[in-house]
Amino acid sequence: MTESSGEQMLHKEYWDLTYVSGPLVFLQNARRFPTGAILNIHLENGESRQGQVLEATTTHAVVQVLQGTVGIDVKGTSVSLRDDAARVACSPDVIGRRFNGVGQPIDGLPPVVPEKELEISGSAINPVSRAQPNDFIETGVSAIDGFNTLVRGQKLPIFLGSGLPGNELANLIVQNAGTTRAEEQFVIVFGAMGITAREAQYFLRAFDEGGQGGRVVAFLNQADDPAIERLFTPRCALTVAEYLAFEKDYQVLVILTDMTNYCEALRQVSSAREEIPGRRGYPGYMYTDLSTIYERAGRIRGKQGSVTQIPMLTMPDDDITHPIPDLTGYITEGQIVLGRGLHRQGIFPPVDILPCLSRLMNNGIGKDKTEEFHREWANQLYAAYAQGTNVRKLMAIVGEDALTELDRKYLAFANAFEREMTGQGFSRRALSQTFEIGWKLLGMLPKEELTRINKKTIDSYYTPIMEDGLHSPFMDEVPSAM
């Protein structure tokens, strides 16, 4: 029914505009278009833009204009129906292509001949249809593989601060996570919202250099592109990702960057609609809105493919309690957090493991997947590192002399941990090597301290190093920079 009425309206133009403000225009006759419809907006000078109907009341319909309202007037501008909902062209041919933030090609090639045109708003995966994500993805990053394991179908964001090498970390993950079993097909869907040309180029070049270029579908909305389009970009990317994963059996890794820009666009529309603002002016429904993006990851029973999401966001002022990282953390299955202190010390990747988490880690590790001791091993290293950083704080107040002998061991441990475990440099590290370094580090602590590890495991793997425990077992290999 929508279609038949749609047909009639499709090319019919209406001079309905009554009000223009910020990214919004109001139409006086709201009965013509369904909510969610995509309209063509024809400017008097011949230019054409797109808008989406957000709300309809008896007096007016609210339309957000994707490319901004500059130049639109209420006399000469007309609207016509383009589509009854926002859609994106899906076909296996999208792989290797580049699109703008709303799915139009920008690589100079003709538009993709769609096998399907799917609504970008998507629908929720029925929770009973979901399959439990439990396939370990080896990223080659110790801080992730060892302590916050990524599994297929997970959504694991990277929280970074301005100036921290988040892109480089994402790239490192992409280069390694792409290794799949022989019979599987892998594809990267890259959704960029409001990133600079420099960042966009960095990613695209990195994909090419890593040999992934042909396996990338990119949706690029750059900083100088219309801000409202950013609201469509992640949804286009995820619609294509779901299509490739659940209809074409691909293992899909979705990188979304930068979610902070997305949220700002959301706030912009919300304030133009004069909605009651929530924390820091972001709309009260931002949690729900973000969840309709992040929840589009996972596996489905009986299907081969999977959608794994790595959204990236910049924490304003490194504040993890800011609404954007906060709401994200409530939805995603863990988070990887970068620390400025580590970065300043020249440690790469500067992953601050303490606030990091992977909620699905337990499903991806253990016997037959990684190592049987993996969980205990990680718990012990976590606990010891936390203790070490506590001692470091204490030392800043009371001085080193006031520390007990055990405290000093913990301090040495924490320092060695950051240098040896976290700071692996821009290279892949095998999981077995991560484990080996971990056991070496644990060797710096007395056996009685290792209460998180099963006795049997300790007997087989623990070797105490350096009786006094104050020196790093790595001293011989790496000259101390302290």
Hey, which residues between 457 and 476 contact another protein (CB under 8 A)? none
Q: Which amino acid is at 171?
A: N
* 461-466 LR contacts (CB < 8 Å, sep 24+): 461/373, 463/439, 465/440
129's tokens: 């249809």
Closest CA to 132 of 378, 362, 376, 373: 362
Query: Which residue in 15, 19, 330, 426 binds another protein (CB under 8 A)?
Result: 330
Q: Looking at residues 405 to 444 of the shown chain, list those that interact with another protein (rule: CB under 8 A).
A: 407
Tally of CB atoms within 10 A around 404: 9
Task: Report H helices in 332-462.
Answer: 340-344, 361-364, 374-398, 405-416, 431-442, 455-461
Least distance between another protein and beta carbon 129 (Å): 4
Residue 121 as a binder of another protein (CB under 8 A): the answer is yes
φ/ψ region of 315 (left if φ > 0, alpha if ψ in -120 to 50, else beta) reads beta
Residue 300 as a binder of another protein (CB under 8 A): the answer is yes
What x/- string results for residues 18 through 37 when contact with another protein is judged by CB under 8 A?
------------xx-xxxxx
Query: Which residue in 40, 78, 80, 292 binds another protein (CB under 8 A)?
Result: 292
Name the one residue in this structure whose structure tokens are 């009973």.
128
Query: Which residue in 93, 117, 199, 295 binds another protein (CB under 8 A)?
Result: 295
Distance CA 291, CA 263 (A): 12
Compute the residue count for the chain.
482
DSSP H/E element including 430? none
Q: Looking at residues 166 to 195 of the shown chain, list those that interact with another protein (rule: CB under 8 A).
A: none
Q: Looking at residues 43 to 82 of the shown chain, list those that interact with another protein (rule: CB under 8 A).
A: 55-58
Least distance between another protein and beta carbon 66 (Å): 17
Residue 84 as a binder of another protein (CB under 8 A): the answer is yes
Residue 331 as a binder of another protein (CB under 8 A): the answer is yes
Query: Which residue in 206, 327, 416, 421 binds another protein (CB under 8 A)?
Result: 327
Residue 316 as a binder of another protein (CB under 8 A): the answer is no
Name the one residue in this structure whose structure tokens are 């400025």.
340
DSSP state for residue 84 in the 8-state scheme: S
Using CB under 8 A, which of the segments 207-215, 339-347, 401-409, 422-430 binds another protein? 401-409
Q: Looking at residues 131 to 160 of the shown chain, list those that interact with another protein (rule: CB under 8 A).
A: 131-133, 153-154
Phi/psi for 298 (5° steps) reads 140, -170
Using CB under 8 A, which of the segments 65-73, 138-146, 381-389, 467-475 binds another protein? 381-389
Least distance between another protein and beta carbon 407 (Å): 7
DSSP letters for 339-377: -HHHHHTT-SS-B--TT-EETTHHHH-STTTS-TTHHHH
Distance CA 111, CA 180 (A): 30
Residue 479 as a binder of another protein (CB under 8 A): the answer is no
Query: Which residue in 223, 357, 465, 466 binds another protein (CB under 8 A)?
Result: 357
Least distance between another protein and beta carbon 345 (Å): 20
Least distance between another protein and beta carbon 427 (Å): 28
Distance CA 345, CA 310 (A): 26
Name the one residue in this structure whose structure tokens are 């006094």.
468
Least distance between another protein and beta carbon 88 (Å): 16
Using CB under 8 A, which of the segments 129-137, 203-211, 213-221, 253-261 binds another protein? 129-137
Residue 452 as a binder of another protein (CB under 8 A): the answer is yes
Least distance between another protein and beta carbon 440 (Å): 20
Query: Which residue in 128, 182, 481, 482 binds another protein (CB under 8 A)?
Result: 128
Could you give the angle at the alpha carbon of 330 between the alpha carbons of 145 and 275, nearest 5°?
145
Residue 126 as a binder of another protein (CB under 8 A): the answer is yes
DSSP H/E element including 203? helix 197-209
Q: Which amino acid is at 409?
A: K
Residue closer to another protein (CB basis): 215 or 322: 322
Residue 334 as a binder of another protein (CB under 8 A): the answer is yes
Residue 85 as a binder of another protein (CB under 8 A): the answer is yes
Using CB under 8 A, which of the segments 96-104, 168-176, 326-334, 415-423 binds another protein? 326-334
What x/- string results for residues 211 through 250 when contact with another protein is judged by CB under 8 A?
-----------------------------------x----
Residue 9 as a binder of another protein (CB under 8 A): the answer is no
DSSP letters for 235-277: HHHHHHHHHHHHTT-EEEEEEEE-HHHHHHHHHHHHHHTTPPB
Distance CA 143, CA 238 (A): 27
